[in-house]
Amino acid sequence: MGVTNAEGSSATNYKLNKPEIIITDKQLMLFSSNTDIKLTIKTLEAGHPVLITAFYSNGLSLLKALKVHLQKKYINKSFKEQREYRSKYNNLSQLILIEVINYKLVVKKAPFIGWLEKLYPETSDFLLPFVKIQGLNSAWQWYENGISIPVLRNKIYPFYGTYFPTRFDHLILFDNWLNRYDGPKKNAIDVGIGSGVLSFQMLKHGFQKVYGTDTNPNAIVGLTNTIKDTKLSRKITLDFGHLFANANQLTELIVFNPPWLPQSSDLNMLDEAIYYDKNLFTQFFKKAKQLLLPEGRLILIFSNLAQITKVTKQHPIELELAEGGRFILEKCLKRNVKMASGKTKRDQHWRAEEAVELWVLKHL
């Protein structure tokens, strides 16, 4: 698909990523506060779906019981064990369903979720996994109320299914670098624009134009809707596609906040925004070499997460600098990540060693 800006209508024609609805005439096991929990979990483990009835809170109770059941099976201390536990929980929780009629949840004391009508205009009655409803509910609150980002003046309003930052150390690192950047600011490319935070930062610091790309149509549609009636519609051009999409204009600055963990085929990827495949960085650096002006700068925002959790010993940016023959390092800025909240039950001992990284590269 080609370039679109906020004034165009083509963004509305993208096929959005959304939870797949379930329509079935099969008889389902019904779950309420009086239903036997152990029998229900055995039903789930046998691969049979369960329908939440009566009250919304019954879905929360069943999910809580499922977590307790799985935590007894998995030690859940190492990073690998935590990923395995989450994968199993994700598979079983998808079988816990809830009914939607006329775009509303039929159980009592359920939240209003505007996404049900916005995302499914073709049908008003269907089933969805309860965990997907939870995600839709949270996303609707974020979209309606907005999210404050420390480095931005205004809130962001992320569209459903669009990545937005929940930790800000890397954004602060980038903002500090932008404060000191004294190069040209005619245009920049934001690869994987997401909810637009990095682009908004660059515009705040004086960049005139930003070309933002993303493989997620929700990001393109969401940002198009966000900026269409503002001055930003003249400053941000959006393009749906892999990495640089259809970018062909040389630029002073390329910014990329890539996934921080290598993809593993034996795990269920719960969040594609944090996993990269083996070809991503090679493809990125090859095209970046072609599009970056001779005196331009290439910024990569990364983390040592994969190394300290022993997922891999290889650092893709270090590998490029050592073997790529395209770029040299100007500087690498690092910032220690704040420790996890004491409320979390996960063992995240590695967080004491975690640091976000801002790599500044230039042409060899």
pLDDT digits (tens, 9 = 90+) for 217-276: 999 999 999 999 899 999 999 999 999 999 999 999 999 998 866 666 543 333 455 666
Same domain, yes or no: 349 and 263: yes
Domain termination residue (choose one: 109, 143, 177): 143
Q: Is the pLDDT of residue 168 over 50?
A: yes
Same domain, yes or no: 167 and 235: yes
Mean pLDDT (whole number) for 132-153: 96
Mean pLDDT (whole number) for 33-58: 96
Same domain, yes or no: 205 and 333: yes
Mean pLDDT (whole number) for 132-156: 96
Same domain, yes or no: 287 and 251: yes
Q: Is the pLDDT of residue 58 over 50?
A: yes
What pTM was computed for the model?
0.83
Q: Is the pLDDT of residue 278 over 70?
A: yes
The pLDDT value given to residue 268: 36
In a domain? residue 3:
no
What tens digit of pLDDT does each residue of 99-129 get?
Answer: 999 999 999 999 999 999 999 999 999 999 9
Mean pLDDT (whole number) for 7-11: 39
The residue range of the domain holding 56 is: 18-143
Number of domains composing the chain: 2
Other Cβ atoms closer than 10 A to 143:
20
Domain termination residue (choose one: 143, 178, 205): 143
Same domain, yes or no: 178 and 300: yes
Same domain, yes or no: 273 and 350: yes
Please state, in angstroms and rounded to a whole number, the distance separating the CA atoms of residues 73 and 119: 37
In a domain? residue 287:
yes
Q: Which residues pair with 240 in a beta bridge?
A: 214
Domain termination residue (choose one: 101, 116, 143): 143
Same domain, yes or no: 131 and 187: no
In a domain? residue 327:
yes
Contacts with 133 (C-beta within 8 Å, 6 or more apart), sequence order: 59, 98, 105, 113
Same domain, yes or no: 249 and 348: yes
Please state, in angstroms and rounded to a whole number, the distance separating the CA atoms of residues 86 and 349: 18
Task: Output the CA–CA distances (angstroms, integers) from residue 40 to 35, 62, 93, 179, 287, in the order listed.
Answer: 8, 9, 12, 56, 52
In a domain? residue 150:
no
In a domain? residue 8:
no
pLDDT, mean over the chain: 88
Same domain, yes or no: 191 and 85: no
In a domain? residue 357:
yes
